[in-house]
Amino acid sequence: MSQKIKFNIVGMTCVNCSNAIERVTKKIDGVNDANVSFTSSLGEFDVENESVVNSIKAKIQKLGYEIATDYEELESKKQKALKAFRNKLILAAILTAVIMYFHMFYHHGKLSSSIQFILTFVVVFYCGKSFFIHGYGALRNKNFDMNVLVSLGTLTAFLYSSFIFFFPNLVDAKFAYVYFESAAMIVTFILFGKFLEENSKLKANDYIKSLLNLTPKMALLLKKDGTSEEILADKLQIGDIVMVKSGMTLPCDGVVVGGGAEVDTSVLTGESLPIYKKIGDMVNAGCVNTNGYLNVKVITSKHETLLARITKLLSEAGAKKMPISKLADRVANIFVPSVIVIAVLTFVIWAICGNPYYGMMTAIAVLVISCPCALGLATPIAIVCALSNSAKNGMLVKNPEVMEILKDVKTVVFDKTGTLTKGEISVYKTNLDKENLLKIANAELLSEHLISKAVVKFAIDSGLSLSKSSDKFENIVGKGIKVADGKILVGSEKLLNENAIFLTQNQKSEFEEFLANGFGVILAVIDGEYVGYIALSDSVRDSSKSLINELREKGVTSVMLTGDNEKVAKFIASSLGIDKVHFNVLPQEKLSIIQEYQKGSKVIFVGDGVNDALSLKGADCGIAMNSGSDIAKGAGDILLVNNNLNSVSKLINLSEKTMNVIKQNLFWAFFYNIICIPIAAGVLYPSFGVLLNPAYAALAMSFSSVTVVLNSLRLKFGRI
């Protein structure tokens, strides 16, 4: 059976680097597929078995890149690489300034040219060494990336000047002119552009880094004798109890077993106001106790906390490619060979016209100015910025492909209980006597359903002492529960009818008023006899109504699916202003209803329960509530960590902004190349006498990438 392995890869400079790694590693026996993102520096490989892991690592390192074992090491190596980049940039800038001084203010004699040759050699082959290493590796693997263009352009300028310097008598006097400064300036300007780009990319990803720094290193472990001991947070075990004093950050996910405190959860949910947490409430690592004290029982390991899962998902999401990103990758991959052909043609045409010197300079300018860095950056950097912003606001996008879909959504389908409503169901009224209520509550103890929990809680609050039944239990999804082969039935009228129990009109009239007013009602049967009803209530989320109004203003149709009966469903739909409602829907029917809506438009499904998992997967975009089941959270494309339904509208807004920024980036990347390549080739020379110096071509190329990054950063800091 195949398996997936992941590596953090350091040193990729553009999309062609990641393409090169994908192409090379796919050729290794035992590697079924490879997906590498240069933006997130993550490579995912589908392999037959672990025996090929070392081969993959060796191939990647042979191409000139490094492997980092985890995110911390990756960040450390990136910071180290950026520092080395900066130092080389400073050295290159100083030496280039000296070269320019001799080039502009000294006669091109032996001494001046010697100094320029030596200094340029240092700039090109020391400061710009990485371009040649990656360019050579790319050529060996028949992958033409940006490093190939930079290497070709720089080497051509340097070798031509060196030939003139060492063999001046072999060249016509009118062409005997050295251009060491061009080679040095190309390297310096490209280093400058790459430094700005890498620095901006690190900032775009710094939300992940800030998440990693949230969990405290130390924790106060509460011992059995009542004393506390400060230990490393990494040493905490499931079941340990930690003390969290006012002002301290929670070191773990857990449940409050003592005390009470106001907790700042803004880092996970975006909620600005502290939330009071009491005994029995869940709390998460990274949140801050702002007032009070808590004793918290650890319920997850360090690597499974909500914070750890968010960090992992965010990192992985950046590695996934959207359709528009794949298009840009394909274009970038065929772009470089096309540019090389254009550069050769440029040289040939100028040479035929009698000026091979201009031909060489324009060919270099074409090679340098055409680097497809901006094209490769256009989509991934925008996605990374958008995902960081959404995560900061409590919306975790696990599948970035949906960011391309959300803006086109015309229908949003909601599950009712736990989604539009809080799912905090409670018993409003019952006509069961204490003896029958005890039997029903004992049966409900066997189920984890919210309704069952509400009945159990009501029975306990009524002073009954419960004991779990050992009889055979059957959960009939969407209808109720069946215990002891039907001896006890609790659920809908449909469940009763299927078991040949039919209510009289008098019996129905006892609870019809509750149904008419939007309450839920479950019916109880003991030993084949109907014994009474339980009326249930569920409160609507504060954010539900405002979201439905916002969707209507956007022209988006709202739909509610529920297993409740018609009256309850219509009562909730009417109070929220929902456009369409489907009631008495079984879990397996939800997906087919969603598929019907998909025939007319893109559909979002928002749900929280185990029975919503299919619909979350089947919709164009599945949004899961964090308060829901683990299965639903795993199935959704997006997880609302903040449990705020208004986030659905914000996600649609963010999708529109993201796609606009991507289109702007692609437009400027293509527009820049379409305009600049002909100018670099000398098309303006016949009419205006204008030729583009290769050094300025390098400067223009660098700033095109920086422009794309800066344009994308608007997504990270802008309001959604």
Predicted confidence (pLDDT) per residue in 515-539, tens digit: 777 677 889 999 889 999 998 877 7
Fold of 218-304: 2.70.150
How many Cβ atoms are within 10 Å of 206's Cβ, its own excluded?
14
CATH 3.40.50.1000 fits 395-421+541-643, yes or no: yes
Q: What per-residue confidence (pLDDT) applies to 667?
A: 84
Largest CA distance in the chain: 116
Please say whether the beta carbons of 569 and 581 come within 8 A: yes
Catalytic residues: 415
Supply the pTM of this predicted model: 0.62
Alpha carbons 656 and 664: distance in angstroms, whole number:
12
* Nearest of 670, 683, 684 to residue 346 by alpha carbon: 683
Domain 431-539 has CATH 1.10.760.10: no
If one counts every other C-beta atom within 10 angstroms of the C-beta of residue 466, the result is 14
Task: Give the fold, CATH level 3, of 3-61.
Answer: Alpha-Beta Plaits (3.30.70)
Q: Which residues touch 235 (CB under 8 Å, ≥6 apart)?
A: none
> In whole angstroms, how far apart are CA 503 and each of 302, 455, 506, 530?
53, 22, 8, 8
Give the integer Cα–Cα distance in Å for 102 and 81.
Answer: 31
SS3 631: helix
Quick: pLDDT tens for 241-251.
Answer: 999 888 888 88
- pLDDT value at position 172? 66
- Cα–Cα distance, 621 to 690 (Å, whole number): 52
Burial of 379 (0-12, 13-18, 19+ CB in 10 A): buried
690: left (phi over 0), alpha (psi -120 to 50) or beta: beta
From start to end of 178-217, where are the E strands?
Answer: none
| Parts of the chain with a pLDDT under 70 | 1, 13-16, 38-40, 70-72, 108, 141-146, 171-177, 193, 197, 200-214, 266-274, 310-330, 332-333, 371-377, 423, 477-478, 518, 587-588, 610, 694-695, 698, 702
Residues 301, 176: Cα–Cα separation, whole Å: 71
Sheet strands (E) in 497-562: 520-526, 529-537, 557-561
For residue 169, the model assigns a pLDDT of: 79
**Mode of pairing for the β-strands spanning 557-561 and 409-415:** parallel
pLDDT of residue 111: 85
β-bridge partners, 558: 412
Which pLDDT score, from 0 to 100, does residue 324 have?
67
User: What six digits make up the tokens of 11?
Assistant: 């040193």
Tell how strand 480-483 and strand 473-476 pair up: antiparallel
Residue pair 483/446 in contact (Cβ under 8 Å)? The answer is yes
Tokens 């249930």: give the residue. Answer: 536
Q: Where in the chain is the domain with CATH 3.40.50.1000?
A: 395-421+541-643
**Phi and psi, residue 198, nearest 5°:** -65, -40
Residues linked to residue 625 through DSSP beta bridges, in sequence order: 640
The dihedral formed by the CA atoms of 98, 104, 106 and 107, expressed in degrees to the nearest 10: 140
Taking the C-alpha atoms of residue 478 and residue 588, their distance in angstroms, rounded to an integer, is 10
Determine the number of helices (DSSP H) and then strands (DSSP E) in the chain: 27, 24
- Which pLDDT score, from 0 to 100, does residue 531 have? 92
> Of the candidates 46, 38, 3, 39, which has an alpha carbon nearest to the alpha carbon of residue 21?
38
d(CA 253, CA 305): 6
Q: Cα dihedral sign for 595, 596, 602, 608?
A: negative
Q: Which tens digits make up the pLDDT trace of 304-313?
A: 787 777 666 6
The pLDDT assigned to 32 comes to 85
Nearest to 501 by CA among 523, 475, 481, 471: 523
Q: What are phi and psi of 433, to 5 degrees?
A: -80, 170
Query: Two tokens at 474?
Result: 């059957």
